[in-house]
Structure formats: structure tokens, C-alpha cells
């Protein structure tokens, strides 16, 4: 049983508010100053965002669970029937590109891969290694015949390479440094310029530090 | 065909938004307010354009029209029907399309609801603001986020389908639309806030209208956020529901400021105070929805479920900057003129409690925002990449959450203006006993630890306070006592109490273990026995599933699985949960069986998690109750001596028969 003592005490109307003080004795600028303060903070925040957007423009490289570790084993039969082995390319940057012919962004990035490959073919400082992801070997062979591209292509029949390399979807390109350490990956399609930019940045960092 | 229809719809929507905006602004500038009425036709055209675009997209998805790049990238002939519909919001472009549909819908409802007052200047500004927002989002659809780009598919082409995680659970069809109804819904109160700032009219009936729109948006957002947590619990194998991920924070931030507004607006209604603060909260809420969209769609922050597409980022940031410049500028320019002269008589009063509530919600929002953007700030300043872990958020928000629970117990019994110790003592007696009872029960069933026990006690205290209010209202008015803002709000409080208890219990007392079991073997954890019966492999059109059969406590069999989706090729686990009131048993299959048939499973015992979903439903129900008009509060001029049948039970703070003097400003 709840009895509110106030219900009887407060029966007469409550006393009026504070005695008639002049409501706006001194003009206050609280709202203005608050707005200015908030505005300044937000301008700073937006500068940070702009920096964040700019920083990402030279390549959408993201962290990979393999970062900093030795590249997992990657060897097997190539598209041409020969052997493909990642360890043969120690000393060069390797872009391990997981792709499939049924994936539109993979088809779209292919010309970029061709130009990246041809840029570095002479110097040999960077190579491409494509891994077929969940696709028929015949489809891939006819795709390369039609579109071009002469770099090694590994057939990954059981998907073990994709699992070992923590691939979450195609296309995905994992970047392996000349010392055989994974340094990051790019989800989605790449461009030749973006790949070069990332590699140059990483080389500069390695030189500087 | 679909491409043409879709592009036509987007173009129609954009043209109607631009023309409508220009018409309304010209009418406002020339003070020809009768012309604002034309906005109705433009709103209809905007809605028509949005509907046309959505119909075209759905048609393309259903017919698997791979000549649309969006369908080619995200659709698949193997996707089941429900998820095929939901594919529209499975990627960036389609999600903006859903946004536009909801936005156009809210615009149409606004002009229909206020059709008799469309020549009002304040409403004109509001409609112009909504049309401006429409222009921006239709512009996104026509530019960088165009879902109707063309693709020429090779013969026999089939798409990869949406991300496999998005086609595991029916909640995926439900959670994003709810979230968007909430997110986008805040555009309406924001537009009215801008209208009030521009016209300088902060009182009148607009307040009530705005409050109800905010409540609708808030209710949808609540359901959307909790449905998202539920989805994450049922689909991702980590046995959790909230990880302070940037995307989660992006949906939580406007919820916090919106909640603050829903409380402080009552101070304005009753006492005429906090006008500019309330307008600022509405502006902040809307700005945070845009900021959240920017953070999650631009790729500046890494998150488990951010869409990756850089091209809309700069535009969203520009729009956010525009919103900030307009709102901060307006508040700085007009704010001091609109502020009310009143002040709070005593901190120990309902309005005093609402003030503390608002400070707590603002602090909460600040802590979450800081944690979300801190990695960006640090990276900009020092080029270091960090991520802010859940620990920061848990530690920082715990004291605020405890304060809010305490306020939830005390504030509803506080009278306006000033409370006496005697009032508090009598009114808090029952809630305090409930709180003490909750503590005793919790300790008796084995709960330990300072933070969770404080939480259970305060939750009992707050729950008791809300129940007391509902019982009193029910005795006085019967079932009608549940309807209306105050008591609907108390039902929402009960839902929050359930959430708080569930969060504290599941965060403090869950335990897990991994077992490698041969078929027929059993293992025990936390008083439950799981028996591994074996695995089977199921072939379905879109995936191959390795399904483990696990019997829990000798009863029903549950089937966690590992799914390999054909198109994407990913191996994705799907947990199986045995829910119960006391604890959930959460099973995941970690590895496929080896040659002997033994498989590794993870078992998590999660106490009280199902209370979260019940709490969410209670909050949604309470929001519905609060939307219905309660018994009208009498006008100050009405006779005070209305018959009060049982004065013993009448309570000054809620009784409809007891008018408060309303400050007329």
C-alpha cells in the first residue's frame, strides 16, 4: 500500500516559480560560444577524416592475418602442366593473385595485371603469381588464351591454398616481400599503378627504417 | 529494361527533389507561403521515383538480370528467394537505394500528415530541408553509388551471390530495413528543428509532433540495433552479440542522443526550458547518422562489416560538413535569442534528474565517438595504426551505465520542481526492496563479482520503480493506464532493465571450452552435457554443408555446421544455439571430422542472453504504447477540483487530474 503524503500536502497549487526576477537581466552568449567550441572541434575532426581519406588513396591495402609471417607454402601444378612454386621467386616482390573467371572484378582487373606484369618483366623485381579459385581449369586456360597474360598460374583444385592464405573472397591479392614475408593484402580489384605505389611505399619505408 | 527503368526512377526523384527544393525556397524567400503547398506534388514525384528505382532493382534481382553490374556482382541464380530480395541491401549501392526509398517515404508522410498546415513557414523550411537531403542521396545514386551500371555478362554467366554471411539467417532481411527506418527517420525531427531555428518558433505544437516522429525513428532504431546484435549472435561463430565495432557504434551513437532528446523534451513541455539544447540534440542525432554512414561507407575505418567503396566517402564527408556548418551556424546565430529564461529550482526534482540523464547520455555518446574515431586521429597525428578494443568501451561506459540505471530508478518517482525527503522515502520504498531482493536472489544463485552485482541491484531498483508506476496507473485507469507516453516509457524502462541484466550476466559469467570428440562421446561444461553423434554432409544448391549432430543434456539434437558456399568458395561456420531462460548453449563446429570421424566443437554457456531479445521486444512494445495518445493532460485553465475518486492513490506527478502550472513563454 503506497500512500503519498505529498498528495495531501501539495493540494494547494504549488508556489510560483522563482520570484519575479527580470528574465533576461544580462544577455547571455552561451549558445554562441558553445556553437563556436563545437564547430572548432568538428573542423579538427573533419581535417582528420580528410587525412584518412587521402591516406587510403594510394592503395586499399589491408591487414592480413598472415602479415609479418613467412608466406605459406604455395606450390603445385601450373596451368601449362608445369610446376609452380612460390619459393622460386624469392628476391622479388610477388603479388599472389587469387581469382576466378566467374568473378566480374577479376575479369575487370585482368588488363591491369597484364600491364603490371609487363612493366616488371624486364627488371624481374616484381612478379605475378595467380591462383585459380574454385574454377574449371579449362575455363581458365581459354580465359588466358583470349585475354593474354604469361605469368605463372597455379591450379588449386582442392582449395587448400585459398584456405592456407586466408582468402575471404576473390579477387584478392596478397603481397609477399622479396624476403618471403607477407606484408599485406588487397581485397577486390587492383590497378597496376596502385600495386606499384604500394611496393614503392614499402620499399621507401624499408630504406628509411 | 531494368537499367532504363531504374535510371529513370533515380533521375525522376532527383529532378523532383531539386525542383521542389527550389520552389519551396523561392516561396519562403518571397513569403508566398501558399505556394509551399506545391511541395505535395513534388513529394509524390520523389516517392514515385524512389519506388520505380526499387521496383526495377527488385525485378532485376528476381529475374537475375546480369546486365546490371550490381546484380552481376551481388546476385546469383542460387540465392534463395528471401535473401535474393535482401540482396538489395547487401552492398553499398543497393543500401543507398533503400535509404532513398525510406527517405522519400518519410517525406511523403510528412506532407500528407501536415497537409492542412503546409502554408506554415516552419513547415516550409522543414520540407525544404528534407528535399535537400533527398537531393544529396539521389545524387549519390546517380553518381558514385549508381546501382544501375551496365555489365555485359559472358554466356552462361552466374553471379557470386551476396556475401555468404548475409544469406545465413532470415534476420538479414529484417535488420537493415529496421535500422534504416530508424536512421533515416531522424531526418524528420531534424528538419523541424531547422525550421524552428530559422523561424525562431520553438514552442507551440511543433514540439509534440517532433517528439512523436523522434519516438517512431527511435523505436525502429532500437529494434534494428537489437536485431543486428541477434543476427551477429546467431550467424557469426564468436558467441557474442556486441563488439563495439565501428558499424555498431555508428548505429548506437544517434540512439544515445535520440534517447537523451526523448527525455529532455519533457522538461521543455512541462517547464519551457532547455529549448536550444533540445534542438541541438536533434541536430546532433541527424549529424551522427550522416557521420556514421560516412565512417562505415568510406573505408576510413576498418570494420568487420563496413562496405568497401572509397568513392562515396568524400561526398558523404562534404555533406556532413554542410550539415554541421548549417546547424552549428544556426544555433550560434539564433540560439541565444531562443533560450528560455527559466531555471531549475532544485536539483532534486524531475527536471534535475533529466538534466543529469542528459549529461550522462552526452558523456556516453562522447566516449563511444572518441573510441570510434581515435584510431583515425592517432593515425593522422603520428602515423601509427591502433585499434581501440572492447575493453576501453566496457570500462568507460560501465560507470555511465550504472549512473543511468540509478537515474532510471529514482527519476520516475521524483516530482517536478522540488522533492522532499519524505516523498522520496515513501515512493522509493518498494523499488528499494525490489532492488535488495534482486541482490539477494543473485547472490543466492551464485552470482559473484562487484560490477555485475551492482548492476543486478540497480536493475531491480529501476525495474521496481517502473513496475510501481505501472501498477499505480493500472489501478487508477485499468488497461488504459498502460497507454500513453509516461507509462509506455515505463514499459520501455522494463525492457532496458532486462537488457542491462542480460548484458551484465552474459559478459561476466559465460564460459566456453573446445572438445575433440569421437562419435558417441560426451563432454560436460557448466552443468550441461553435450554428446557428439556424428557428422553428415548435405548438398544444397548454394552450398555444401558439413553438419554435426550434437545432443544437449540427453534431449534435443542441435546441428552446427560448416558451409562451403559454391560461388564464393568460403568455408563459413554456422552455430547452433539452444536458447533457454537461464542459459544458452552455443555450439560451433570448428573443424571437419578427421578420418576416424572425430570432430572439434566449441561449447559456450551464455547465461541470460535470451533476455536481450525479450528486452528488445518489450522496448518495442513500450514504444508503441508511448506513441498512442494517453489521456489528455488538462489545460492549466481547467477546473482543478475535478473529481478524484480515491485521493489516497492519486499521485501528483502522473495524475491527469492534477495540472501543473505551465510556464508560458
CB B195: neighbour CB atoms within 10 A?
Answer: 22
Chain B positions touching A63 (Cβ under 8 A) are 302
Q: Assign 3-class secondary structure to B315-364.
A: HHHHHHHHHHHHHHHHHHHHHHHHCCCCCCCCCCCHHHHHHHHHHHHHHH
| Three cell numbers written together for B470 | 505501472
In whole angstroms, give the CA distance from residue B106 to residue B117: 17
| Contact (CB, 8 A) for A202 and A183 | yes
Nearest CA in chain A to B327: A35
Nearest CA in chain A to B415: A6
Restricting to B residues 260-279, those with a Cβ less than 8 Å away from any Cβ of A are 276
In whole angstroms, give the CA distance from residue B210 to residue B97: 26
In whole angstroms, give the CA distance from residue B6 to residue B1: 8
The C-alpha cell 558499424 sits at: B247
Per-residue confidence of chain A (209 residues) as pLDDT tens digits?
Answer: 333 433 333 334 433 333 333 344 455 788 888 888 888 888 888 888 887 776 444 445 666 677 777 888 888 888 888 888 888 888 889 999 998 887 777 887 888 888 888 888 888 888 999 998 888 888 888 888 888 888 999 988 777 787 778 777 778 889 998 888 888 888 777 888 888 888 887 887 777 64
Restricting to B residues 594-633, those with a Cβ less than 8 Å away from any Cβ of A are none
ipTM of the complex: 0.72
At residue B26, φ and ψ (nearest 5 deg) are -60, -45
Q: Which of B569, B573, B655, B661 to mutate to test the interface with A (most CBs of A within 10 A)?
A: B569
| Three cell numbers written together for A143 | 580465359
Chain B positions touching A55 (Cβ under 8 A) are 379
Nearest Cβ partner for A49 among B300, B335, B570: B300
Q: Which of A29, A52, A184 to mutate to test the interface with B (most CBs of B within 10 A)?
A: A52
Single pTM value for the model: 0.79
| Contact (CB, 8 A) for B548 and B561 | yes
Nearest CA of chain B to the CA of A120: how many Å? 28
Give how far Cα B439 sits from Cα of A129, B60, B448, B498, Å: 63, 57, 10, 15
Pick from B579, B582, B548: nearest CA to B563 = B548
pLDDT digits (tens, 9 = 90+) for A1-35: 333 433 333 334 433 333 333 344 455 788 888 88
- What is the model's pLDDT at position B235? 86
Give how far Cα A89 sits from Cα of A118, A127, A199, B86, B313, Å: 16, 8, 16, 44, 38
Nearest Cβ partner for A169 among B343, B570, B571: B570
| Three cell numbers written together for B161 | 551471390
Nearest Cβ partner for A32 among B158, B335, B429: B335
Peptide bond into B631 cis (omega under 30): no
- What is the model's pLDDT at position B180? 94
Query: What single string gives the DSSP state of each residue in B86-154?
Result: HGGGSSHHHHHHHHHHHHHHHHHHHHHHTGGGTT-HHHHHHHHHHHHHHHHHHHHHHTTT-TT-B--PP
Q: Which residues of chain B have pLDDT under 70?
A: 203-205, 299, 302-310, 383-385, 566-570, 630-665
Q: Which residues pair with B30 in a beta bridge?
A: none
In whole angstroms, give the CA distance from residue B563 to residue B566: 9
Nearest Cβ partner for B651 among A4, A42, A49: A4
In whole angstroms, give the CA distance from residue B620 to residue B38: 36
- Segment (H or E) for B233: helix B206-235
Chain A positions touching B310 (Cβ under 8 A) are 53, 56-57, 60
Nearest CA of chain A to the CA of B44: how many Å? 36
CB A191: neighbour CB atoms within 10 A?
Answer: 16
Strands A126-132 and A93-99: parallel
Q: Residue B152 contacts by C-beta under 8 Å, 6 or more apart in sequence?
A: B67
Amino acid at each position: 500500500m503506497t500512500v503519498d503524503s505529498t498528495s495531501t500536502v501539495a493540494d494547494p497549487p504549488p508556489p510560483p516559480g522563482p520570484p519575479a526576477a527580470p528574465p533576461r537581466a544580462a544577455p547571455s552568449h552561451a549558445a554562441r560560444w558553445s556553437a563556436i567550441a563545437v564547430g572548432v572541434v568538428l573542423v579538427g575532426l573533419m581535417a582528420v577524416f580528410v587525412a584518412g581519406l587521402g591516406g587510403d588513396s594510394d592503395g586499399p591495402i589491408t591487414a592480413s592475418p598472415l602479415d609479418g609471417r613467412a608466406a605459406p607454402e604455395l606450390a603445385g601444378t601450373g596451368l601449362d602442366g608445369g610446376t609452380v612454386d612460390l619459393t622460386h621467386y624469392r628476391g622479388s616482390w610477388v603479388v599472389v593473385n587469387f581469382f576466378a573467371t566467374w568473378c566480374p572484378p577479376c575479369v575487370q582487373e585482368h588488363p591491369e595485371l597484364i600491364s603490371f606484369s609487363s612493366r616488371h618483366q624486364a627488371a624481374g623485381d616484381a612478379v605475378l603469381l595467380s591462383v585459380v579459385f574454385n574454377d574449371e581449369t579449362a575455363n581458365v586456360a581459354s580465359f588466358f588464351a583470349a585475354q593474354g597474360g604469361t605469368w605463372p598460374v597455379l591450379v588449386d583444385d582442392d582449395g587448400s591454398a585459398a584456405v592456407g592464405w586466408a582468402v575471404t573472397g576473390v579477387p584478392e591479392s596478397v603481397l609477399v616481400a622479396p624476403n618471403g614475408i607477407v606484408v599485406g593484402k588487397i581485397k577486390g580489384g587492383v590497378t597496376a599503378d596502385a600495386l606499384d605505389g604500394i611496393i614503392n611505399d614499402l620499399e621507401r619505408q624499408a630504406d628509411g627504417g | 529494361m531494368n537499367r532504363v527503368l531504374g535510371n529513370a526512377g533515380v533521375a525522376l526523384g532527383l529532378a523532383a527533389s531539386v525542383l521542389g527544393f527550389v520552389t519551396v525556397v523561392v516561396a519562403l524567400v518571397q513569403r508566398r507561403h501558399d505556394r509551399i503547398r506545391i511541395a505535395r506534388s513534388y513529394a509524390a514525384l520523389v516517392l514515385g521515383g524512389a519506388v520505380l528505382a526499387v521496383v526495377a532493382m527488385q525485378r532485376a534481382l528476381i529475374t537475375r538480370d546480369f546486365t546490371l553490374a550490381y546484380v552481376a556482382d551481388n546476385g546469383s541464380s542460387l540465392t534463395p528467394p528471401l535473401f535474393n530480395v535482401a540482396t538489395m541491401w547487401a552492398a553499398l549501392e543497393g543500401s543507398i537505394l533503400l535509404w532513398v526509398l525510406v527517405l522519400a517515404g518519410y517525406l511523403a508522410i510528412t506532407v500528407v500528415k501536415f497537409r492542412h498546415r503546409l502554408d506554415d513557414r516552419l513547415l516550409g523550411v522543414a520540407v525544404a530541408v528534407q528535399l535537400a537531403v533527398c537531393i544529396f542521396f539521389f545524387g549519390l545514386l546517380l553518381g558514385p553509388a549508381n546501382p544501375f551500371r551496365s555489365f555485359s555478362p559472358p554466356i552462361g554467366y552466374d553471379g557470386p551471390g551476396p556475401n555468404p554471411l548475409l544469406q545465413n539467417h532470415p534476420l538479414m532481411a529484417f535488420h537493415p530495413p529496421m535500422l534504416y527506418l530508424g536512421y533515416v527517420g531522424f531526418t524528420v525531427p531534424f528538419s523541424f528543428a531547422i525550421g524552428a531555428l530559422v523561424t525562431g518558433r520553438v514552442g507551440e505544437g511543433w514540439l509534440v509532433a517532433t517528439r512523436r516522429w523522434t519516438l517512431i525513428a527511435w523505436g525502429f532504431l532500437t529494434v534494428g540495433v537489437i536485431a543486428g546484435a541477434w543476427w551477429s549472435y546467431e550467424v557469426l561463430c564468436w558467441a557474442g552479440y556486441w563488439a563495439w565495432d565501428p558499424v555498431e557504434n555508428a548505429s548506437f551513437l544517434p540512439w544515445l542522443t535520440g534517447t537523451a532528446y526523448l527525455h529532455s523534451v519533457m522538461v521543455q513541455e512541462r517547464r519551457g526550458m532547455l529549448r536550444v539544447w533540445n534542438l541541438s540534440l536533434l541536430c546532433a542525432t541527424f549529424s551522427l547518422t550522416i557521420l556514421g554512414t560516412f565512417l562505415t561507407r568510406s573505408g576510413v575505418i576498418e570494420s568487420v562489416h563496413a562496405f568497401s567503396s572509397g568513392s562515396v566517402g568524400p561526398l558523404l564527408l562534404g555533406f556532413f560538413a554542410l550539415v554541421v556548418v548549417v546547424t552549428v551556424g544556426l544555433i550560434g546565430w539564433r540560439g541565444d535569442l531562443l533560450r528560455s529564461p527559466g531555471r531549475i529550482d532544485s536539483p532534486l526534482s524531475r527536471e534535475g534528474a533529466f538534466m543529469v540523464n542528459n549529461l550522462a547520455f552526452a558523456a556516453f555518446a562522447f566516449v563511444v565517438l572518441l573510441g570510434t574515431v581515435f584510431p583515425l586521429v592517432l593515425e593522422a597525428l603520428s602515423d601509427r595504426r591502433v585499434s581501440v578494443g572492447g575493453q576501453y568501451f566496457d570500462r568507460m561506459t560501465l560507470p555511465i551505465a550504472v549512473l543511468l540505471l540509478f537515474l532510471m530508478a529514482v527519476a520516475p518517482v521524483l516530482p517536478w520542481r522540488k522533492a522532499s525527503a519524505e516523498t522520496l522515502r515513501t515512493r522509493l520504498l518498494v523499488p528499494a526492496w525490489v532492488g535488495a531482493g534482486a541482490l539477494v536472489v543473485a547472490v543466492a544463485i551464485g552470482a559473484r563479482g562487484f560490477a555485475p552485482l551492482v548492476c543486478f541491484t540497480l536493475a531491480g531498483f529501476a525495474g521496481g520503480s517502473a513496475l510501481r508506476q505501472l501498477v499505480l496507473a493500472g489501478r487508477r485507469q485499468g488497461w488504459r493506464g498502460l497507454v500513453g507516453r509516461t507509462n509506455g516509457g515505463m514499459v520501455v524502462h522494463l525492457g532496458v532493465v532486462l537488457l542491462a541484466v542480460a548484458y551484465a550476466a552474459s559478459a561476466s559469467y559465460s564460459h566456453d571450452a573446445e572438445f575433440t570428440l569421437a562419435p558417441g562421446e560426451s563432454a560436460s561444461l557448466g552443468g550441461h552435457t553435450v554428446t557428439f553423434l556424428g557428422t553428415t554432409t548435405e548438398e544444397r544448391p548454394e552450398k555444401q554443408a558439413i553438419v554435426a549432430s550434437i545432443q544437449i543434456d540427453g534431449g534435443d539434437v542441435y546441428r552446427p555446421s560448416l558451409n562451403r558456399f559454391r560461388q564464393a568458395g568460403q568455408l563459413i561456420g554456422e552455430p547452433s544455439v539452444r536458447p533457454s531462460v537461464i542459459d544458452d548453449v552455443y555450439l560451433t563446429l570448428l573443424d571437419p571430422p578427421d578420418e576416424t570421424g572425430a570432430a572439434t566443437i566449441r561449447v559456450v554457456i551464455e547465461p541470460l542472453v535470451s533476455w536481450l531479445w525479450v528486452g528488445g521486444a518489450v522496448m518495442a512494445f513500450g514504444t508503441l504504447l508511448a506513441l498512442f495518445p494517453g489521456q489528455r493532460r488538462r489545460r492549466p485553465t481547467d477546473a482543478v477540483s475535478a473529481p478524484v475518486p480515491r485521493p489516497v492513490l492519486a499521485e501528483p506527478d502522473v495524475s491527469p487530474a492534477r495540472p501543473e502550472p505551465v510556464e508560458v513563454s
